[in-house]
Amino acid sequence: MKNNLVRQPDGMPPIKVSVLVPVYNGEKFLPECLDSILAQDCASMEILLVDDGSSDGSAALLEDYAARDPRIQWWKNPNNLGLARNFNCCLLAAKGEYIKYVLQDDKLISPLTIRKMVEVLDNHPEVSLVGSASQVLDGCSRVIELRKYFKPGVMDGRQTIMQCLERENLIGEPSVVMFRRAQATLGFDEQLPQILDLDMWFHLLEQGSFAYLAEPLCAFRQHAAQQTKVNRRNGINDGLLLITNWYAKLWVQTSMTRRALFTQIYNLRKNYGAEAENLTGQMMLSLGRGWHVMFWLRRKLTRPFDKLGLWIKRKTTRLMSAKLNSLRDKIDYHLAKTLDCSEFVFNSILGVFVSRKPDYDVKTAVCLFCKNENEYLTEWLEYHRSIGFNHFFIYDNKSTPPLSQTLAKEKDCSIMIWNDNEAGKQLRAYYHCCQKHNLYAWILFIDMDEFLILKKHKTVQEFLYGYKNHKALGLNWICFTSSGYENKTEWFNYNKYLPLKLPVNRHIKSFLKPQFVTSIPRDPHKFPVLTVNEHKKLIESPTCNHSSDIAYIRHNITRSKNEYIEKIKRGRGDGMPTNHSLEVFDFYDRESI
């Protein structure tokens, strides 16, 4: 049965929009989702986060976000309610005039998403549901498809229902729409765990018009763990109940087009067989066998071409996205080189008359992902503070004891508990840092056994002045070995390193402007951002020809054999297989100079 969600006025000041985020084990993509909401340009907005008994780190994330923004309220349901009931739980608690769901895996593309949808509902009182074009993302936040099913404008609500019955859910997922709370009093049908959203859209469109914005404002994510795919694997298919309920309405029976009748008959027979025989029999009487044969032949002839067209569309979207990014990067690179040249000429002329020091007083930070490396923190922090870093964003991957205890008194350190257990966890932490802290001018991404060495500058600000027109800088490793020490000592005492010609020293680490990172990196060494080396030559992969004339990353492979054994046990920070072994340790010690 449906819940009655009529809410009595409570005397609180009016809220324009309620943003609702139902959560269940959504830790992986939640930061990206919540950051996109907090970036919205909307003055009157409440954000309700409802955790449905997550067993991962979702609740800790929600608590952290709620502590930082007073618009956020969050709570954890005493018992797991399931998807539909948790949707209704969110809706029941909402106080806004308009409702905007954003599901935990999805995000809002534009900071104007909510404002633009609000403007439509404000200016068109006849509209009960507003949607937009949308992007489809993969698990690495790459765009794999652009969905645009309607022409922009306002259209009849019931005709839109018919269009969906003729094809599929053209309106989209809860994250791509906004609606009026007063028209959603029936709530979501809890008997429809899979297509509860389409049922709600139909109820809203019975009451008014549908408005469509051609600009992609929201992004829907496809990945193996999303609820839709989990439901399909579990055999949940509630299409028969939905069509039975809606076909029982007289206006639907009289408005059904031949194409809609055929589509529903075909899908019901394919998915439900004899179970749907009564309903398909009624529809066949309305359609007629002759029309059914014609539509069936048409489908068989056109279906392969439809599939090919969809494949081409998705492939083209990916290729076009990659080519546009490549073209943009080339333009940005040449523009940066031009600016460098013009500034050099200007500063040279100015230097004849005035002796001055470059002024580049910007906020810089280091992002560190670590686990059980507490004993090295003090020296690592002290050194990087000494060369001018302003802040340290440290992602603690379940250290014992927690870094929040070790660094409790360090005011320039922000600790994020990162409970992600899947492969790629370090990459997602890096992306989270870029999204959350993009007001910092530059962020360096290194590990606890790495130190930024400046050969010609005293501070990072002086060093970065020469790269202020660029988006990212790739700095090569110089790998230092145990130098014969049996026990650990201070990091600067190790003086033996691997020859620069060895492939391992071709690796880079990234020092970048976080606002230019728009997707999860695929490698911890190189981000999907236009990157140059210290001599401003383009870098297109996580390795490049070695260069360490101006600066480099000192990578302490190990401080002793025992420590290297612990490193093997600990594994890589990104959860991927490690290539560490004692044979590698012996080789490094033999080759060091």
Domains and CATH numbers, the chain: 15-234 (3.90.550.10), 365-591 (3.90.550)
For residue 296, is pLDDT > 70?
yes
Least confident of 275-284, 302-311, 416-425: 302-311
pLDDT of residue 7: 44
For residue 305, is pLDDT > 90?
no
Per-residue pLDDT, averaged over 102-115, amounts to 94
The widest CA-to-CA distance across the chain, in whole angstroms, is 93
Residue 566 backbone dihedrals phi, psi, to 5 degrees = -65, -35
The rounded Cα 512 to chain-centroid distance in angstroms is 19
Structure tokens at 229: 């795919």
Per-residue pLDDT, averaged over 349-373, amounts to 71
Specify the pairing of strand 364-370 against strand 442-445.
Answer: parallel
For residue 343, is pLDDT > 70?
no
Measure CA of the first residue to CA of the last residue in the chain; give whole Å. 75
Tell me the CB-side half-sphere exposure of residue 20, using CA atoms within 13 A: 24
Kindly indicate the confidence band of residue 330, based on its pLDDT and cuts at 50, 70 and 90. Answer: low
pLDDT of residue 13: 60
Residues β-bridged to residue 20:
48, 101
pLDDT of residue 355: 45
For residue 348, is pLDDT > 70?
no
Class of residue 124 by CB neighbours under 10 A (exposed 0-12, middle 13-18, buried 19+): middle
Please state the pTM of the whole predicted model.
Answer: 0.63
Residue type at 499 in one-letter notation: P
Distance, CA of 301 to CA of 299 (rounded, Å): 5
Per-residue pLDDT, averaged over 436-462, amounts to 93
pLDDT of residue 340: 64
- The secondary structure of residue 578, as a DSSP letter, is P
* Closest to 466 (Cα-Cα) out of 442, 431, 494, 437: 442
Class of residue 505 by CB neighbours under 10 A (exposed 0-12, middle 13-18, buried 19+): buried
Q: Which of 233-242, 334-343, 459-468 ranks highest by mean pLDDT?
A: 459-468
pLDDT of residue 375: 85
Q: Which of 66-70, 85-89, 428-432, 521-525 ranks highest by mean pLDDT?
A: 85-89
Kindly indicate the confidence band of residue 42, based on its pLDDT and cuts at 50, 70 and 90. Answer: confident
* CB-based contacts of 268, cutoff 8 Å, min separation 6: 239, 240, 243, 276, 279, 280
Per-residue pLDDT, averaged over 24-42, amounts to 90
Kindly indicate the confidence band of residue 119, based on its pLDDT and cuts at 50, 70 and 90. Answer: very high
For residue 217, is pLDDT > 70?
yes
Class of residue 131 by CB neighbours under 10 A (exposed 0-12, middle 13-18, buried 19+): buried
Extended beta strands in 277-384, E state = 364-370
For residue 269, is pLDDT > 50?
yes
Distance, CA of 350 to CA of 371 (rounded, Å): 50
Higher pLDDT, 437 or 232: 437
For residue 513, is pLDDT > 60?
yes
pLDDT of residue 3: 45
The rounded Cα 424 to chain-centroid distance in angstroms is 13
The rounded Cα 62 to chain-centroid distance in angstroms is 16
Per-residue pLDDT, averaged over 56-73, amounts to 89
Class of residue 314 by CB neighbours under 10 A (exposed 0-12, middle 13-18, buried 19+): middle
pLDDT of residue 9: 47
Mean pLDDT, the chain, whole residue set = 85
Kindly indicate the confidence band of residue 130, based on its pLDDT and cuts at 50, 70 and 90. Answer: very high
Class of residue 366 by CB neighbours under 10 A (exposed 0-12, middle 13-18, buried 19+): buried
pLDDT of residue 560: 74
Q: State the Cα torsion 416-422-424-427 to the nearest 10°.
A: -20
For residue 242, is pLDDT > 80?
yes
Contacts 24+ apart (CB under 8 A), 223-232: 223/105, 223/138, 223/139, 224/139, 225/28, 226/105, 227/24, 227/83, 228/194, 231/193, 231/194, 232/194
Higher pLDDT, 383 or 320: 383
pLDDT of residue 353: 45
Helices and strands per DSSP (H, E), number in the chain: 18, 20
Class of residue 75 by CB neighbours under 10 A (exposed 0-12, middle 13-18, buried 19+): middle
Extended beta strands in 194-274, E state = 209-221
Higher pLDDT, 165 or 558: 165
pLDDT more than 70, % of the chain:
84
Higher pLDDT, 220 or 68: 220
Structure tokens at 171: 């309106």
Per-residue pLDDT, averaged over 415-419, amounts to 86
Least confident of 72-76, 201-205, 407-411, 448-452: 407-411
* Closest to 17 (Cα-Cα) out of 152, 104, 119: 119
Per-residue pLDDT, averaged over 172-181, amounts to 96
pLDDT more than 90, % of the chain:
54
Least confident of 67-81, 150-164, 292-306, 426-440: 292-306
pLDDT of residue 356: 46
Kindly indicate the confidence band of residue 298, based on its pLDDT and cuts at 50, 70 and 90. Answer: confident
Kindly indicate the confidence band of residue 104, based on its pLDDT and cuts at 50, 70 and 90. Answer: very high
For residue 10, is pLDDT > 70?
no
Alpha helix segments (H runs only) across 195-238? 196-207, 227-233
Are residues 443 and 366 in contact, defined by beta-carbon separation less than 8 angstroms?
yes
